[in-house]
Amino acid sequence: MSNDFIHSAVCQPVGMAGKTIWLDVGRQLDMKRLSQDLKLLLRSEGMTVTSTVSPNILILQIHARGIRGHYYVVKICQTEGRVLIETGIISAKRQLEWAGVEGGMAGLSDALLHSKWLTLISGAFAGVDVATVLGSYEEENRILSQIEQVILSYQKGPIQAPPRPPMYQTVPTKPLNNQSLTPTNQLINTPRYCPNCGHPLAGVFNYCPNCGFKLR
């Protein structure tokens, strides 16, 4: 069986996940870098995140505030020119078992990680109290939107917002010894905004807390 066939098979929707999204991309993703950036972004919002990576697949386990003891699971897989994102919800017990696999294995192949995903997603919603996750899909959509923004930001290359010119106000000073009035320029601090969505940034962020755009 050829590697191309295996690669094509592992990047197809399994049909058991909650949501499926395809993105068209022009650049190959570095899954390790993507894993680090997404964990940094989601953890900055108070979420517990674990990840497992193979050359072309990233699987995230995300414990968000809105679903109590349950976890979102997200698979990100790249094939030539496209990225597949699949989601589901699993119980905490299944997530802890997966964390043990994550800690004990290194150098996973795409085919092996895909088989682990099949095992994981086949138990999606098993043992999950659906009443506790109703209403959590809005948060799921927000997480997916942030993941998309981070992936698409890689395609644009390093983008920096054009520098804002400093704003000055003229403060008159009292003339001394009959000297003429001399204005004094004083710098006024201006707020920062996300160059992608315009969201005000009140602190130091690597990613926009509203849209997930990479700021550094």
127-159 pLDDT tens trace: 555 555 555 667 788 889 999 999 999 887 554
Q: Kindly state whether residue 110 falls inside one of the protein's structural domains.
A: yes
Q: Which residue's structure tokens are 């999204």?
A: 21
The count of domains in the chain is 1
What pLDDT shows up at residue 97?
Answer: 47
Cα distances (Å, whole numbers) of residue 125 to 57, 68, 84, 149, 167: 22, 14, 21, 27, 55
Q: How confident is the model at residue 180 (pLDDT cuts 50, 70, 90)?
A: low
- In terms of Cβ atoms closer than 10 Å to its own Cβ (0-12, 13-18, 19+), residue 57 is buried
Q: List all residues 6 or more positions away from 64 whose beta carbon is below 8 Å from its beta carbon.
A: 47, 72, 136, 139, 143
Q: Kindly state whether residue 178 falls inside one of the protein's structural domains.
A: no
193 with 205: CB under 8 angstroms? no
Tokens encoding 32: 């390790």
Q: Kindly state whether residue 163 falls inside one of the protein's structural domains.
A: no
* Mean of all residue pLDDT scores within the chain: 73
| Lowest-pLDDT choice from 15-19, 54-58, 65-69, 178-182 | 178-182
How much of the chain exceeds pLDDT 90, in percent? 21
Q: Kindly state whether residue 61 falls inside one of the protein's structural domains.
A: yes
Q: Kindly state whether residue 118 falls inside one of the protein's structural domains.
A: yes
d(CA 110, CA 55): 6
Q: How confident is the model at residue 35 (pLDDT cuts 50, 70, 90)?
A: very high
Strands (E), 10-165: 20-24, 48-53, 57-63, 70-79, 82-91
Residue 69 pLDDT exceeds 80 = no
Give the predicted TM-score (pTM) of the model.
0.64
Mean pLDDT to the nearest integer, 45-58: 90
What pLDDT shows up at residue 15?
Answer: 66
Q: Kindly state whether residue 187 falls inside one of the protein's structural domains.
A: no
Q: Kindly state whether residue 51 falls inside one of the protein's structural domains.
A: yes
Q: Provide the residue range defining the domain that includes 113.
A: 3-156
Residue with more model confidence, 199 or 176: 199
Q: Kindly state whether residue 185 falls inside one of the protein's structural domains.
A: no
Render pLDDT for 83-110 as a digit per residue (tens, 0 to 9).
Answer: 999 888 777 545 444 544 554 445 678 8
What pLDDT shows up at residue 162?
Answer: 42
Amino acid (1-letter code) at residue 60: L
Q: List all residues 6 or more positions away from 40 whose beta carbon is below 8 Å from its beta carbon.
A: 206, 207
The 3-state DSSP class for residue 66 equals helix
26 with 155: CB under 8 angstroms? yes
Q: List all residues 6 or more positions away from 136 whose beta carbon is below 8 Å from its beta carbon.
A: 64, 66, 67, 89
Residue 56 pLDDT exceeds 90 = yes
Number of residues that this document lists for the chain: 216
